[in-house]
Structure 1
Amino acid sequence: MWELFAYLHDPELVARFQRRCGLFLVQDAHHDPERAKQNGDDESRGQQNRRWDHQDKNSNYKIKQNGGSRPQYEVRNWFLHVLFLVSAGLGNEVFYITCLPFIQWSLDPFLCRRLVNMWAVVMYFGQMMKDILKLPRPSSPPVVKLETRVGAEYGLPSTHAMSATAISFTVLLSATSRIQFQFEWGLLIAVTLSSLVCLSRFYTGMHSILDVLCGVLISALILCSTYPYWESIDHFQLTSSASPLVAMGLTILLNYTYPQLDHYSTTRGDTSTILGVGAGCSVGYWVDHQLGGTRHPLGEIPALLPPLTAGAVARGGARSLLGMMALLGTRQLVKTLSLKVLYSYYRVGDGDTGARRRREIEVPYKFVTYMAVGLVNSILVNRGFVLLGLL
């Protein structure tokens, strides 16, 4: 069993996948004779005459030539390159802050609520397991690393794979009772999107096969074990007077009991972001329900998808534009104010660029910032759309 785990964690499998997809690491032929011999048919003679700079395994390598620097990789299939980079972006903050609210504004708030709940749970478990298990990402060389932000994070499990699986199949399982659609097509779309995100983690060199497989399996286990209780969770979240207290208390507790590392990693800040969004949306959903603002699709449920007319597209575009402006404005305002308050409290100068990495600053500012984003999304934005006649 351990031999199988070691094999699936081998970075050479990831490098082989990258080469099959047209992404090649620039390598010196005499630096590794065996690998140069294996890849001789795939790499040009010009590539084989270049050398590695000595850098740590989590950094992006650069090749120095004639006093300058060039990227350490060559792309030979630009279609796959763009496809996998876009797919990798489906697991980043930009996607979450655009896709999830769009579902609430233009499709069904019920689906958004389910998505936020499952996304927060799955992502928290994934982030926590990374910092408990502490398994490294694939090393470079032989792997080409196309992302730098998460280089200090551990690898197993892949939270991109976890979130893609959770989002795709939460929508599929939840939408069957709300919207009329052909289940087979929905299943095909869910499998395709989650598979593209998983494969993108190999292409970008950020995860081993073991990381991605474990991410998918853990996410599937969480979905299967919680699915029977989704209706009960919805009812408690919207109707119980204890719901806001549970949401706030639980997320704060999870924030401050998160595993500590001996070095800085983006997992802690990202976890505070996730918990902040989850807490803000949960409290917001409860408040919105108490105020009678919870919306449902028009007509009988499951409802037909609304026709894609020019007017519907225009209103959807206006909702997306105004909604994103509200969320990004909230994010920037609350982030600035919270950092000013924390810097003042801890007597940190504005010029101290590393201060926001300190635990006592990073955790509260990210949690408060994204809790505010969640509150604005779940309470104020839809009410603004009603006043403007966009719903």
Structure 2
Amino acid sequence: MTPNNKLPSPLSIPQLSVPPADQSATFQHTPRGPLQREWEPGCQPDEVYAQVLSSWRNAMRLWLVNKLKKEKEWFPAWQASVRTARRDAYFYWTAVFGTHTFFVALLPMFFFFGDPVNGRGLLHIVSLGVYVSSFVKDLVCTPRPYSPPVIRLSMSTHHNEYGFPSSHSTNAVSIALFFVQLLCQVRGHLPFSLFLAGLILNLTYVISVVSGRLYTGMHSTADVIGGILMGLGCWIFWLLVGDSSEAWVNSGTIWVPTITVPLTLALVHFHPEPVDDCPCFEDAIAVLSCTMGSFVGHWQVSKYGLSHLLRSHTSVFQPGIITGLAIGAYRILLGLGMMMGFRIIAKSTLLRILPPIFRFANRGYDLELTTRRFYKAATDYDQVPHPSIRAVPSVLDLHPESPSSVASPDMTPFGSSTPSPDLRATSMRSLSPADSLRMGSNDGLRSRKSASLPLERKNGDAVLGGKVISEEPDRYEWQPRRKRKSKAERARYDAEVLTKVGVYAGLGYLATTPIPILFRLLETEVAKAFTV
């Protein structure tokens, strides 16, 4: 290799004999849907991760990958033996209740219906779980169970994230423990049968979500155990500091925003950078910013003596069932509508004003602004394309339609480029630094925006790049790339990081403070009008 071809150290990748870098796994996005090939992170050759990760991060990754290799000996056969149509449907749908998507939709209801203390407790536990699991995912960069032969069953795009730990397990355990804690607090006011039913419901919920991650092939046993321990840790942490945190914010001290805002920005800035293009960072931004907005709103009402406007001591059904349903419907529709409107306006506004500010700081004051890998710096683009309107928040991406399929002309023995113990003996080629630059984006590392080949069938077998894949051909219906760019393919810009911080902080603030106060004031005025 000539000096002109060398890449800057330390991220230059030496000449290696490794398989191709296009990695994919086999998915079903509905219980009866066709099998599809899609890209996954964490599946580049071990040498790539060893080159980029620090020694201790790489050691953790290799330990987990070795666990995956051992698990591959029994996991596919176990999955094939337990899968049935009914179980597929059950675990497919119960997986929704382990996502932060579900809890982000649930959380505003606590504030809309007058229970801010428990709402904040749930918000902070969910935020802890999502941030910690996202942090560790990007820290160790491990793949999910080898696929094929494992088949993934998933309606969401969580498979675009790394495997360890299972964020579903983290969320399910921490939230179930939180609700059990609430049950224990009101046990004296509940019949024993109702208390027991609550415990059984929480236990069923945890077992369904956690075991479902194994059943659907989305996680290994190590992923699930790690997620359970992290969920337990998050709950214990908040159990120890929750009351102190409430008292601190209730004091109204100026130190609340003074500490909370810089701490949130620091946690965003120092989030580990992954080797592959993984969306865990976006989830971390969302929950951290929502929590920051909640802290600022809580501090504001405490400082100015408005806390009584957030609490409700009566049920919405006190005036009657019909009236209660009407009040509940208007709160949900108006509250979520205001949040949606804010998100649209704030996002478009920030994406317009932040890039020029970044460029001015860079050119006018010669400031070198930090840009994360896989994000474009403001100096490299003129404007951010107009964003499409998505659900609130953007982590709400559940849909039965799969992301675009990604395929490779060179496959491992199982028809996938996912690493396996047989990999070195079966498919080897040279990867130069120039090759690795062509494979991905920044620093020669893997980006989700990769080329795919048309997929077709010949004599009942799947044909991929001229290579016949005959493993269980009757079960495979290969899907071509969608014309519309998926979220995974969309270019991302440095301004989007602070935009997400601003948008989600605003959503957290709105949902926990101004909107509940607005409900209280509106309903008070309406009640006065009807009593006159």
TM-score by length of 1: 0.75
| Cα distance in 2 between the residues matched to 1:253 and 1:3 | 28
Flag the 1:13–1:271 CA change in 2: closer, same or farther, 3 A.
farther
Where does the alignment leave 5 or more consecutive residues of structure 2 unmatched? 1-62, 358-377, 388-488, 528-532
Flag the 1:371–1:89 CA change in 2: closer, same or farther, 3 A.
same
1:19 equivalent to 2:80? Answer yes
Deviation at 1:153, TM superposition (A): 2.1
Flag the 1:337–1:21 CA change in 2: closer, same or farther, 3 A.
farther
Q: For this pair of structures, how many residues does the alignment match?
A: 331
Find 1:229's aligned residue among 222, 225, 241.
241
Asked whether the equivalents of residues 347 and 503 of structure 2 are also in contact (C-alpha less than 8 Å), the reply is: yes
Q: Which amino acid is 2:257 matched to?
A: P
Alignment of 1:31-42 (within 5 A): none
Q: Which amino acid is 1:372 matched to?
A: G
Q: In the alignment, which residue of structure 2 is the partner of 1:163? A: 171
Asked whether the equivalents of residues 289 and 504 of structure 2 are also in contact (C-alpha less than 8 Å), the reply is: yes
| Cα distance in 2 between the residues matched to 1:247 and 1:165 | 26
Deviation at 1:197, TM superposition (A): 1.8
Q: Which amino acid is 1:140 matched to?
A: S
User: Is the deviation greater in 211-220 or in 148-157?
Assistant: 148-157
1:357 equivalent to 2:492? Answer yes
Asked whether the equivalents of residues 277 and 373 of structure 1 are also in contact (C-alpha less than 8 Å), the reply is: yes
Q: In the alignment, which residue of structure 2 is the partner of 1:378? A: 512
Alignment of 1:205-216 (within 5 A): 205-216=217-228
C-alpha distance after superposition, 1:119-151 (max 9, x if no partner): 112221111111222221112101212346233
Asked whether the equivalents of residues 202 and 209 of structure 1 are also in contact (C-alpha less than 8 Å), the reply is: yes
| Cα distance in 1 between the residues matched to 2:107 and 2:242 | 18
Flag the 1:186–1:107 CA change in 2: closer, same or farther, 3 A.
farther
Alignment of 1:1-391 (within 5 A): 6=67, 10-11=71-72, 14-16=75-77, 18-22=79-83, 76-77=84-85, 79-106=86-113, 108-147=115-154, 149-174=157-182, 176-177=184-185, 180-181=189-190, 182-241=194-253, 242-291=255-304, 292-294=306-308, 295-296=310-311, 298=313, 309-345=321-357, 346=378, 347-351=381-385, 357-358=492-493, 360-389=494-523
Q: Which amino acid is 2:71 matched to?
A: D
Asked whether the equivalents of residues 172 and 231 of structure 2 are also in contact (C-alpha less than 8 Å), the reply is: no
User: Is the deviation greater in 276-285 or in 231-240?
Assistant: 231-240
Deviation at 1:297, TM superposition (A): 5.0
C-alpha distance after superposition, 1:12-34 (max 9, x if no partner): 65544543453xxxxxxxxxxxx
Q: Which amino acid is 2:499 matched to?
A: Y
Flag the 1:308–1:133 CA change in 2: closer, same or farther, 3 A.
farther
| Cα distance in 2 between the residues matched to 1:318 and 1:151 | 36
Q: In the alignment, which residue of structure 2 is the partner of 1:64? A: none
Flag the 1:337–1:127 CA change in 2: closer, same or farther, 3 A.
same
Asked whether the equivalents of residues 128 and 258 of structure 1 are also in contact (C-alpha less than 8 Å), the reply is: yes
Where does the alignment leave 5 or more consecutive residues of structure 1 unmatched? 23-75
Asked whether the equivalents of residues 131 and 287 of structure 2 are also in contact (C-alpha less than 8 Å), the reply is: yes
Q: In the alignment, which residue of structure 1 is the partner of 2:472? A: none
User: Is the deviation greater in 339-348 or in 245-254?
Assistant: 339-348
Deviation at 1:8, TM superposition (A): 9.6
Max Rg structure? 2
Q: Which amino acid is 1:81 matched to?
A: D
Asked whether the equivalents of residues 17 and 202 of structure 1 are also in contact (C-alpha less than 8 Å), the reply is: no
| Cα distance in 2 between the residues matched to 1:275 and 1:269 | 10
Q: Which amino acid is 2:333 matched to?
A: L
| Cα distance in 1 between the residues matched to 2:64 and 2:98 | 30
Deviation at 1:335, TM superposition (A): 1.7
Structure 1 residue matching 2:152: 3-state secondary structure = coil
Alignment identity in percent?
A: 24
Deviation at 1:4, TM superposition (A): 12
| Cα distance in 2 between the residues matched to 1:127 and 1:189 | 27
Deviation at 1:194, TM superposition (A): 2.2
Structure 2 residue matching 1:335: 3-state secondary structure = helix
Asked whether the equivalents of residues 280 and 372 of structure 1 are also in contact (C-alpha less than 8 Å), the reply is: yes
Flag the 1:357–1:205 CA change in 2: closer, same or farther, 3 A.
farther
Higher relative contact order (CA 8 A, sep 6+): 2
| Cα distance in 1 between the residues matched to 2:338 and 2:322 | 24
Structure 2 residue matching 1:338: 3-state secondary structure = helix
Asked whether the equivalents of residues 244 and 283 of structure 1 are also in contact (C-alpha less than 8 Å), the reply is: yes
Flag the 1:314–1:155 CA change in 2: closer, same or farther, 3 A.
same
